[in-house]
Amino acid sequence: MIRLLGSVLASVVFLAIATGTIDGTSEENPAAINDSAELGLLSMSDGPVVSAINYLSSCQNEDGGFGSDPESESNIKDTALAIVAFASAGKNMSDFAKNGKSPLDYLMENQAELDNLSNVEAQVGRYVTALASVGLDPMDIKGKNYVQILKSYCRPDGEVGKENYIWDDAWIVIALAACNESHSNEVNSALDHLKRMQTAKGGWVWNGGASGEDPDTTSIILCALISGGEDKDSDVVKKGLQYLSSEQNADGGFSSLGSNAATDGWVIMALNAAGQNPRSWKKESYDPIGHLLSLQQDDGSIWWKKDSEGFSFEWTANGIIALTGGRMPP
């Protein structure tokens, strides 16, 4: 039951709460595209990626922000997700301006939204990751120092944010890493804390427990550890990868709930961060890239499962990063 709850919350609640550009103006990185192609991943010009980007674009509103589907009002969560995905794809944020308002304008003009969201630490972590991924200085966003705010969530014992919940720990580390704070005392303490939370099986539990691991939580923690400076060849990372391998299903995808896009996306990003080729993670002839692509719809969106849409905006945004060899932070 704990294992099931962990997977559900990781795939739905936590995610429903996360090569960039410089000042939102850099072009696509040809070297990165070629490297991805050599690994059997997709390039930014491949049909599924273009289609996914177009789907996200269809969810943009006249205020420059994004909603969870083409009919939804803009919100800070989905706008941040879109920015991170576009930044990972090397896109120019000004290309997504509506009525002179870009997605970045929406983020900066709607800071107050963060104060009304639950689990504010994870929300701020993703928000800052979006800002930093396009080269903005999170130390001065309309007078607010978000690096200082992130660090204020870190306690001396290494735990970050809410107790008995380690996704916010991961998001804060990822955001600080995006701000070039990987070597800060706060990140070092948080990494030590997260490594102590690794279970005997090599995974991590959403509430920091000793059992009930899930691949979603394990993958975001691996992304956090590596972005914070953990060596890809360390025993901690190797054990984490071994656990993920044990969770791969016969169709190439991941999750104890049945393979789904939420878990696939996070696992693939973790594999990318660890220097693994997701295409080589096979079950017979199936791999996680192929499974994730099998969930893409005609409109470009990526559904949770073939018969269940879930938070398709989120899975699509993460899918763009994962499929093109990206990681978190981009």
Query: Structural domain boundaries of the chain?
Result: 2-323
Give mean pLDDT, residues 248-276. Answer: 97
pLDDT of residue 74: 97
Distance of alpha carbon 312 from alpha carbon 69, whole angstroms:
8
Distance of alpha carbon 247 from alpha carbon 46, whole angstroms:
29
**What is the band of 14 on the pLDDT scale with cuts at 50, 70, 90?**
very low
**Helices 261-273 & 215-227 angle (0-180, nearest 10):** 30
List, for residues 23-64, the tens digit of each pLDDT value. 333 333 333 334 454 556 898 899 999 999 999 999 999 999
Selected residue with higher pLDDT from 53 and 5? 53
Percent of the chain scored above 90 by pLDDT? 82
Tell whether the model's pLDDT for residue 108 goes beyond 70: yes
List, for residues 274-302, the tens digit of each pLDDT value. 999 999 999 999 999 999 999 999 999 99
- In this prediction the pTM is 0.88
pLDDT of residue 39: 54
Q: How many CB atoms are located within 10 Å of the residue 118 CB?
A: 9
| Residues 325 and 19: beta-carbon distance below 8 Å | no
Could you tell me the fold of the domain covering 2-323? Glycosyltransferase (1.50.10)
Tell whether the model's pLDDT for residue 260 goes beyond 60: yes
**What is the band of 115 on the pLDDT scale with cuts at 50, 70, 90?**
confident
Selected residue with higher pLDDT from 105 and 18? 105
| Residues 174 and 329: beta-carbon distance below 8 Å | yes
Tell whether the model's pLDDT for residue 9 goes beyond 80: no
List, for residues 131-153, the tens digit of each pLDDT value. 999 999 999 999 999 999 999 99
Distance of alpha carbon 196 from alpha carbon 192, whole angstroms:
6
pLDDT of residue 256: 81
pLDDT of residue 40: 63
| Residues 267 and 255: beta-carbon distance below 8 Å | no
Give mean pLDDT, residues 239-266. Answer: 96
pLDDT of residue 21: 29
Give mean pLDDT, residues 169-196. Answer: 97
